[in-house]
Amino acid sequence: ILNVEQSPQSLHVQEGDSTNFTCSFPSSNFYALHWYRWETAKSPEALFVMTLNGDEKKKGRISATLNTKEGYSYLYIKGSQPEDSATYLCAFSRSNTGKLIFGQGTTLQVKP
* Residues near other proteins (CB under 8 A): 31-32, 34, 36, 42-46, 49, 51, 89, 91, 93, 95-105
What are 109's strand-pairing partners? 12
Compute the least distance from the CB of residue 86 to other proteins, in Å.
14
Compute the least distance from the CB of residue 112 to other proteins, in Å.
27
Cβ closest to other proteins, residue 33 vs residue 80: 33
Cβ closest to other proteins, residue 2 vs residue 79: 2
Instruction: Give me the phi and psi of 76, to 5 degrees please.
Output: -115, 140
CB 76 within 8 A of CB 87: no
Decide: residue 82, CB within 10 A, 0-12 exposed, 13-18 middle, 19+ buried.
exposed
Q: Give how far Cα 85 sits from Cα of 58, 99, 101, 104, Å.
A: 18, 27, 23, 16
Cβ closest to other proteins, residue 6 vs residue 19: 6
Compute the least distance from the CB of residue 7 to other proteins, in Å.
14
Compute the least distance from the CB of residue 29 to other proteins, in Å.
13
